[in-house]
Chains A and B, each alone.
Chain A
Amino acid sequence: MTADAGTSSSLDRTAILAIVREQLAEILEKSPEDIPEDVPFSDIGADSLALIELVEALEENLSAYVAGFHIDDEDLEGLLSVRDAVDYVVVKLQGS
């Protein structure tokens, strides 16, 4: 999903979850419905390189809402599942 131009306030948790799922599904060549929220990335075939792909895709996508949206490399270790990633983005957007 390509986010429409807008502001961070137009993105709720459901919308962010959809974006994360869609981006990861594209990277893993799966359907978004096959991307569970609570299963560790490693268990759905997402290795470190796939996660970096996800991070870069999210930064590009979410920059449509918050200019220069960036995920800190130091925070990556804490992102172990889709839920972690969504929670992280929600907090990050709230603080923007």
Chain B
Amino acid sequence: MTLPIALDAMGGDFAPSQIIEGARRAVDELGLQVILVGVPDLLGDPLGLEVFACSEVIAMDDDPAASVRKKKDSSLVRAAELVRDGNASAMVSAGNTGATMASALLRMGRLPGVVRPCIATPIPNPGRTPTVLVDAGANAECTAEMLVQFAQMAASFVSARYGVASPSVGLLSIGEESSKGTPLVKETHELLTGMAGINFAGNVEGRDLIPSPVDVVVTDGFTGNVALKTLEGALKFIFSTVLEVIGTNETTKAAGDVLFEYLLPIASQLTPENQGGALLLGLNGICVISHGSSNATAIMNALRVASEMDQAGVVEKLRTTIRPDQN
């Protein structure tokens, strides 16, 4: 029996209407099973989808950990419980990222041996499989041992999700030489070098995020989040600038007519809404965190990713990676 995906219908800047529309499209266009988790009086028309009713909503600016304790009947907490209790195969939310992580962590629990879950964000890599950035914001302060575990989990994820046999791992730093970087980076470099089961490619720099020569880029959550947001901002600026230039006059518009055919596929590949969101690695269940500004298309893609994670058996593969002796 295929279990539905629990979708937090109350989370996100455009919730609940765009969330519900995305769910409907995932059901109609992708054949997925989705259960909306939300407050019936606030949901509006559920478009014929099943609703798991709750009574509270965790706001985007609520304190993550505290809100999960105080709002036990919130859509986020209930969605995580549906996964924990075996009533859903995965959860998806575009809501408060910290609270999503806290809900998933406290309700699903960590895989044995995992010190801290991390956020893995696939970055499109034209011409090859995406590069996964870990940690993209879950843990601002990390130890070298945590970074090593993030690298192990991300490599296992890339292998399961994208079929890469021996994913290469790069350590984000300010230079390729092993002597470059903070004490944390240097210590992590030392641990990763020659480590069994890790195809360590050495240090990579910020410019190596896209296009990237490696399958995994590992860093602490603070640096990872800054890097990711910088990349998003730069891409957004480039897109808007290109469009602005093309609209300058009749000549540039004519040039745009020719170029659009070639530019649009690349733009589509790089657009966040087509990526499906980030994944929480290290939990005893699947949790996909979608962008706060997710529209219906982004939600549909996040649900697709959640389903693919389930189909690929990512959680079980991570379990084996972290504690190979217990399998």
Contacts and interface: CB of A to CB of B under 8 A. Distances in A.
A29 B115 contact: yes
Contacts of B115: 28-29
B143 A52 contact: no
B236 to A, nearest CB: 31
Contacts of A56: 69, 106
Given A28-B115, A29-B113, A53 B66 contact: no
A76 B226 CA distance: 30
B113 A49 contact: no
Contacts of B113: 29
A51 B102 CA distance: 11
A47 B141 CA distance: 9
A73 interface: yes
A31 interface: no
B65 interface: yes
Given A29-B115, A73-B70, A49 B143 contact: no
A56 B102 CA distance: 12
B23 to A, nearest CB: 29
A23 to B, nearest CB: 13
27 contacts: A28-B115, A29-B113, A29-B114, A29-B115, A45-B143, A47-B139, A47-B141, A48-B65, A49-B64, A49-B65, A49-B101, A49-B102, A49-B105, A51-B65, A52-B65, A52-B66, A52-B68, A52-B69, A52-B102, A52-B106, A53-B105, A53-B106, A55-B69, A56-B69, A56-B106, A73-B66, A73-B70
Interface of B: 64-66, 68-70, 101-102, 105-106, 113-115, 139, 141, 143
